[in-house]
Structure 1
Amino acid sequence: MKAKFMKSARTGIALLALSMFAGMTGGVSVADEENLRGDNRGTRIFGADWAGRSVVHAVNGMAATSHPLSSMVAIDVLKAGGNAVDAAIAANAAIGLMEPTGNGIGGDLFVIIWDPKTQKLYGLNGSGRSAKGQTLADLKARLDGADGIPSWGSLPITVPGTVDGWFEMHDKFGRQSMADNLAPAIKYAREGFPVTQVIAEYMEIYRARYEKQHAAGVIEEIDNYRATYLIDGKAPVEGQVFKNPDLANTLEKIAKGGRDAFYKGEIADTIDAYFKRIGGPLRKRDFAEHTSTWVEPVSVNYRGYDVWELPPNGQGIAALQMLNILEAYDLKSMGHNSADYLHVMTEAKKLAFEDRARFYADPDFVDIPVDGLLSKDYAAERRKLIDMQKAALEVDHGDPKLLQGDTIYMTVADKDGMMVSLIQSNYRGMGSGLVADGLGFIFQDRGAQFSLTEGHPNVYAPGKRPFHTIIPAFMTKDDVPLMSFGLMGGAMQPQGHVQMVVNIVDFGMNLQEAGDAARFHHIGSTEPTWRGRMQDGGRLELESGVRAEVVEELRRRGHTVKITTGPFGGYQAIWRNPVSGVLSGATEMRKDGAAIGY
């Protein structure tokens, strides 16, 4: 984990000396002026000059989330005697309140847990299913000829799996009571907290979007959203105290009554009545019959490191497919964010995402060839399709059976070695725009990811889990846990996971440098909804830190390139030193978060 960026450190020291000299003499030389960036950034003295902060180190516990108060909630739970699972549940409940633009108890949850007692990784699929009383024909009739499921209103809503996921985690690994785990979120919901910068901006974006979709008749009712999330009819601004007493009441009922209070009791009754009133398809039966699923994480070995993801219905194995393809290339010699590097990363993504569009779905409904998709032989065949001098405009999915043989991410670790990699989401930003009467949370719109094409593995069906974008990740070496990490943001996630692994393994960056380095994001691949195939090569989005000559060369090779501010996801990570046990944490400079240890 030692960074190899002494040149950046020397540059920082040189600029510091230059500024001191300028202060004494009143000016700088023409030669020195060439070293000045002129982009209004300060200069780090040590480490990579693009890193927003240093890595955080501690020995007793570490939490990295996209909200500082959520990270502090996790640390408080650890200090009070809870373990990493307790702390993760508490932090997730808090961040559902504090960052409603990305998650909440109306959404789903996926988690990977390292248990130090059994020395094993455990995976939990906490995603919900579609309404059992609505067939594909029923849905198509309601869509009235539309070629896809909308992202707003009642039609894309699936059963929220988060609450059940919490209790599954707690029943298997938790130490302190669920009432204690939920108490911090309940307190903040009732007493309020100041809204942070990024979240305030997104709350206004979604206010305008919901109003527009309601006016268009897509969102059936909007009064409950307004009453819950607006203050005097406006989205809260940065620094303004926001309260959600309805959510406090809902969490109190869950704390007292357990998961059944949400899925079988008074809360489920309220939800059932609400959907009947607005004409939504979900019913109490769908909630009462919901279950989470413990699954075996899957992995590939990348240059001696085992990188772990969860199997479908999530998209995690796309990251593993990309790593398999990339392993044959000397990325380090190409140079980070060089034209060769960005080209081969993008082409590998295109190949993996065509398989993602064709094969990833609910394994309860289709047989997914995971072993074939993750085999090294299959990667070698797919790799042959990459032309280093020309961007592919279209590619087809492979045939692995021939080779048988807006979201939050957070992570917590405790002093005993337990590590939790958790991701949770309402799907598109705040979700569907619908809030059941007096419950204080928005329902997810995950069902928008179903395909309407009959025969496709991801086609809509009653009681089925849709394709999912949210994926937690983990890395081990020689069966020893090293890193719990994730990077949220739709289709950015597999691409982001790969970039983090490569930044650390190939380029020797530390946890914070790996996350703060300029990223790429390719869009335009065929989607799991099976609407439209990629025929134009898609678009390669880059952050402004990529050099101009690299952009020019990528365009020469046929890439459509756009310099943009995103979306490039939100990254958090914890590294555990296998010898000393020291925990190192990093968080995302593009979000409001913090890594906190003690």
Structure 2
Amino acid sequence: MVHLPNELIIAIGKEVPAEHDLNTLAQTNRRFLSCIDPILYSRKTMDTTFCASLAELPTIAILRAVQQGGEDTLRKALRYNTDGLDQVLWFAVSHRFDRHLAILLSAYSVERYGTAMIERAMFNAAFRGRTYVLRTLLESGLIDPWRDKLLSRLLCSSVSGNSPASTSYILSIGDFDLDYVSGSGEAALDIAASRNFVEVTQLLLNTGRVDVEITSRTNLGFTPFLTAVYHGHEAIARALLATGLVDVNRATVHLPGQTALMLAAARGHVALVEMLLAQDGIEVDARDDDHRSALTFAASGGCAAVVEMLLATGKADIHARDRLGRTPLSQANSNAHVIGGALLSRKKFDDAEGAYVSDVGGLNWDIDSGSEHDAAYPVETLISCWNKRPVAAISSPGADTAPTVTRSKSHPPAVATAFNDDLGSAAAVANAYAVPELIFSPDDSYGTRGAVASEASECSAIGRDIIAAGGNAVDAMVGTTFCVGVIGMYHSGIGGGGFALVRDAEGNYEAVDFRETAPAAAFEDMYGDDEQLSIAGGLAVGVPGEVLGLEYIHQKYGVLEWRDIMQGAIRVARHGFRVSEDMVVKMNATIKDGKTYLLDDPIFAAEFAPKGELLKLGEVMTRKNLANTLERIANEGSDAFYHGEIAENLASFVQSRNGTLTVEDLETYTVTDRPVKSVRYRGLDVHGMSSPASGAVALQILKVLERYPASAWHDDRNLTVHRLAEAQRFAFAYRANLGDPAFVEERDILQYESDLLSEETIDRIHEGISDDKTKHPREYFPSEEDVAALPESHGTSHIVTLDDAGMAVSLTTTININFGAQIMEPSSGIILNDEMNDFSIPGISNEFGFAPSRANYIRPRKRPLSSMTPLIATYPNGTVYAVVGAAGGSRITSATAQCLWHAVEHGVTMGEALRLGRLHDQLVPNTLTLESFFPDLEGTTAAMQAKGHEVKVARPMLSAVQAIKRRDDGSFEAVGEPRQENSAGYSV
């Protein structure tokens, strides 16, 4: 039997009744495993990460032959059918099954599959230094290496991977453009210099064909030499100097006018400063556009060794003042005990150490004492001189006269508001809310015309003023959301997507899904066993949906002009916003082993570390490239994003980072309407999003809690906490089977959601909750077949708006993990999402051994399951009761349900509901998390442990809820998350 052709084995296999016989047959000869496995899959006798459909048997046969090393089986399978060969080819390359590559290529049809997968395989091989694979692909004749600058692009990829072998091979092929600029805005030499790839740099220099003085197009304006100095890469800098082609006094375009000596001095690169000072013609006292010298930078950075070296040249002017009138000594004020002596040995000051007088705006400011000599002075001076804490606001930049700042002796300076009191016309909008107040005020406010709440007070103010200017809740939402993407770029932005629940003034609801989708080239096993690829880099990027989603909602419901409502976000991006406590936390979270991509990646560093170190609390950050992008979107609509230059740059950049996003992916992206899920809860109608959002999960939690007396929270706090945790555990068990309804074949997702909200299911869950103890996680799933795990989801932003006509929006948007895929497209300033990490990855079980959820496996153009849970609650007569939602990954669902539960059942204001301690239990992992200020934390922890809960105490930032509640008098209670320093709710 083992010598029969594959086709006969398949035919016989279909008739063999016993699993044992099939397994025995499979073990007889490994080369037939590819034929046997599909039969086993069809009988559900084997657990597999591959497709279970017999209709896909030919592809499975090819794939198994590649995996198991059966060359004869592979050849026969290819003669039988070549369906899916492009995917199998990628699988073979990405999983290092190299010996079958030639066989696969011999059957590959460019007419049928195109060249995209061949190119992708080439870039993978070049990046990973797999010269054999690269040579085999290039010599296959399937693609012309001289078209579309393919060799130049491959060179950039091999250099990015620090692969001397593949770099050397590519350089040997022929005479092609070595200065080609990749999608990241860098040429090959730029890439090598920025990443300290010494051997690869030398290979490039040895050709004699690279432009040593090429200026990168990352908007940094760095040459390779400036890049090497900036990062402290001494060996690279010396190699470049050795060519004799480097202009040591050349200045940057970005970091305006800074020379290599300034860059090295600012960062304390002592060896590089010494090397530069030894160069003939070095300009020691050159000034940048802000009149700062290398000595100024060294003094400001506190590097005594560099200060001494510069002074020793006798060419450093210690009297030099920068644009704000500061001398090196005043810059060194906080380091006077270290640097002051070196400076004072060159000059004696008559005034007290550390004081200086600015020539700008009449300011006389004593840094140490904080005393003021003039009562009013320009805001620009304040921003540069006073950075101990975020203070109040900037008025509209570009005004003819600078606004004034006034303050009392006991409080930080505060900017007098520059808002126009007359907001009666839409024409006044651009000026009225162009740059919002930076008000660090209470978390909530009250008004009657409308309300907005978001994680950024500046953005909430934009939304508030849009309503004041005659806009409705949708106009306010759009303006606020674009702004949040500028300031809260670590959570959200136009490189991501989300969901919005919209209620119009007549009480009609629409659930809008603008969630990211998997690119067309994505497939189930694309990450193999390397989950990190779904977290950072190009392969983690899904197709962004935010711009089209916001435009769709605005076109249908908005009343003000699209261009007008975007002006606030554009001006905040262009003219700046203060770094908040929230942002400092997020930036610090990126630091691992003393390093962060926000500094190491020059694209990020241009915005987050313009002076060589991460921006500090209270400093002003600008995002001018993003401002330009937003301006194009404001003028041209979403077409500017999904078609043309921006789309081409995004696709090219993502591909340069080993991703699959294409222009076609962007051009074909669509917004989807989802059914609205609604329940009656405590006399209110609560509306939420259906899958792939998690509205039904939050609604189930509320319905289960409704089975208990509302007074239970006050009567027996610990028992109620246990019941709340158990309701969450059941809800998250049911959630494991949700997914994109268009792609889940195992069940009708919409019917499944209806079932999980049915009275029968709620009764069953209520009866399954024991007041005495918790249970093993497996006991919460609807059935044993449903036991599955979902990936942890991550950071998001939530915005809520409500107006006096009853229009309401609850919107959640995200780029997933903090700073998304950790890549920023340089020309547009767009930070890309890593939404692909929200899919389940086959073969990777969780710590409890639960298999990943098949309903959430990757498919081309599929939308991953999300925790996002925007809700709107109304009275039976249709009057809005509350608009609520949250950010916080998997904790979104539990936080949203808890805050609405507290407000409805426990007689508290919405502000009080948000301030109460929260708990979270998503079943997997098997942990009940309590916030550290949870009421009676010690007693509650002990009580929960006695019931079998594994309790963990976390800092008070499990989630970030934004909410608006209509009060009995008709006014709006707008509440920003009190756990976020910069969050605010505003009403008008």
What's the TM-score, normalizing by structure 2? 0.51
Q: Which residue of the other structure, out of 887, 891, 907, is the alignment partner of 1:492?
A: 891
Show the counterpart of 1:364. Answer: 742
Q: Which residue of the other structure, out of 902, 908, 912, is the alignment partner of 1:503?
A: 902
Say whether 1:392 aligns with 2:775.
yes
Say if 1:209 and 1:98 are closer, same or farther in 2 by CA, change over 3 A. farther
Say whether 1:463 aligns with 2:851.
no
Say whether 1:93 aligns with 2:482.
yes
Q: Which residue of the other structure, out of 574, 590, 600, is the alignment partner of 1:206?
A: 590
Specify the SS of the correspondent of 2:949: coil
Say whether 1:383 aligns with 2:766.
yes
Show the counterpart of 2:212. Answer: none
**Cα deviation per residue 1:348-402 (whole Å; 9 max; x = unaligned)?**
1111101111x21111112301111111111111222211111223234216999
Say if 1:336 and 1:163 are closer, same or farther in 2 by CA, change over 3 A. farther
Say whether 1:551 aligns with 2:941.
yes
Show the counterpart of 2:798. Answer: 409
Q: Which residue of the other structure, out of 653, 659, 669, is the alignment partner of 1:280?
A: 659
Give the aligned residue type for 2:950.
T
Specify the SS of the correspondent of 1:457: helix
Q: How does 1:499-538 map to 2 (within 5 A)?
A: 499-523=898-922, 525-526=923-924, 537-538=926-927
Show the counterpart of 1:57. Answer: 446
Show the counterpart of 1:589. Answer: 978
Residues in 1 aligned to 2:498 and 2:716: alpha-carbon distance in whole angstroms: 32
Show the counterpart of 2:492. Answer: 103
Give the aligned residue type for 1:248.
A
Using the TM superposition, give the Cα deviation of residue 430 of structure 1 relative to its aligned residue in structure 2, in angstroms: 1.9
Say if 1:73 and 1:428 are closer, same or farther in 2 by CA, change over 3 A. same
Show the counterpart of 1:260. Answer: 639
**What's the % identity of the aligned pairs?**
27
Specify the SS of the correspondent of 2:711: helix
Residues in 1 aligned to 2:914 and 2:741: alpha-carbon distance in whole angstroms: 32
**Cα deviation per residue 1:144-163 (whole Å; 9 max; x = unaligned)?**
x3367632222221111110
Residues in 1 aligned to 2:531 and 2:772: alpha-carbon distance in whole angstroms: 36
Using the TM superposition, give the Cα deviation of residue 337 of structure 1 relative to its aligned residue in structure 2, in angstroms: 8.2
Show the counterpart of 2:515. Answer: 127
Show the counterpart of 1:444. Answer: 833
Q: How does 1:227-306 map to 2 (within 5 A)?
A: 227-306=606-685
Residues in 1 aligned to 2:593 and 2:545: alpha-carbon distance in whole angstroms: 25
- Which range is displaced more, 166-175 or 318-327? 318-327
Q: Which residue of the other structure, out of 682, 687, 709, is the alignment partner of 1:330?
A: 709
Residues in 2 aligned to 1:224 and 1:199: alpha-carbon distance in whole angstroms: 18
Residues in 1 aligned to 2:965 and 2:471: alpha-carbon distance in whole angstroms: 20
Residues in 2 aligned to 1:345 and 1:336: alpha-carbon distance in whole angstroms: 15
Give the gaps of 5 or more residues in structure 1: 1-51, 216-220, 527-533
User: How many residues are treated as equivalent by the alignment?
Assistant: 522
- Which range is displaced more, 366-375 or 159-168? 366-375
**Cα deviation per residue 1:283-315 (whole Å; 9 max; x = unaligned)?**
111100001112232112211112221001112
Q: Give the structure with higher Rg (CA).
A: 2
Residues in 2 aligned to 1:54 and 1:127: alpha-carbon distance in whole angstroms: 29
Residues in 1 aligned to 2:552 and 2:661: alpha-carbon distance in whole angstroms: 23
Say if 1:337 and 1:239 are closer, same or farther in 2 by CA, change over 3 A. farther
Residues in 2 aligned to 1:520 and 1:133: alpha-carbon distance in whole angstroms: 40
Residues in 1 aligned to 2:916 and 2:514: alpha-carbon distance in whole angstroms: 31
Say if 1:207 and 1:171 are closer, same or farther in 2 by CA, change over 3 A. farther
Residues in 2 aligned to 1:580 and 1:212: alpha-carbon distance in whole angstroms: 51
Specify the SS of the correspondent of 2:970: coil
Give the gaps of 5 or more residues in structure 2: 1-440, 787-794, 844-852
Conservation of the 8 A alpha-carbon contact between 1:483 and 1:574: yes
Using the TM superposition, give the Cα deviation of residue 227 of structure 1 relative to its aligned residue in structure 2, in angstroms: 2.5
Q: Which residue of the other structure, out of 190, 205, 217, is the alignment partner of 2:574?
A: 190
Give the aligned residue type for 1:121.
Y
Residues in 1 aligned to 2:783 and 2:932: alpha-carbon distance in whole angstroms: 34
Conservation of the 8 A alpha-carbon contact between 2:693 and 2:865: yes
> Over the residues paired in the alignment, what is the CA RMSD in angstroms?
2.4
Structure with the largest fraction of strand: 1
Say whether 1:72 aligns with 2:461.
yes
Conservation of the 8 A alpha-carbon contact between 2:884 and 2:900: no
Give the aligned residue type for 1:123.
A
Conservation of the 8 A alpha-carbon contact between 2:902 and 2:908: yes
**Cα deviation per residue 1:149-182 (whole Å; 9 max; x = unaligned)?**
6322222211111101110011100111111111
Following TM superposition, the consecutive aligned residue runs of length 4 or more in structure 1 with deviations greater than 4 angstroms are 52-55, 207-215, 399-402
Q: Which residue of the other structure, out of 160, 164, 177, is the alignment partner of 2:548?
A: 164
Specify the SS of the correspondent of 1:335: helix
What's the TM-score, normalizing by structure 1? 0.83
Specify the SS of the correspondent of 1:112: strand
Relative contact order higher in (CA < 8 Å, ≥ 6 apart) = 1
Say if 1:214 and 1:251 are closer, same or farther in 2 by CA, change over 3 A. closer
Residues in 2 aligned to 1:122 and 1:250: alpha-carbon distance in whole angstroms: 29
Residues in 2 aligned to 1:595 and 1:334: alpha-carbon distance in whole angstroms: 27
Residues in 2 aligned to 1:81 and 1:327: alpha-carbon distance in whole angstroms: 40
Specify the SS of the correspondent of 1:383: helix
Specify the SS of the correspondent of 1:384: helix
Q: Which residue of the other structure, out of 307, 310, 313, is the alignment partner of 2:692?
A: 313
Give the aligned residue type for 2:609.
L
- Which range is displaced more, 335-344 or 348-357? 335-344
- Which range is displaced more, 504-513 or 471-480? 471-480
Give the aligned residue type for 1:77.
I
- Which range is displaced more, 256-265 or 579-588? 579-588
Say whether 1:82 aligns with 2:471.
yes
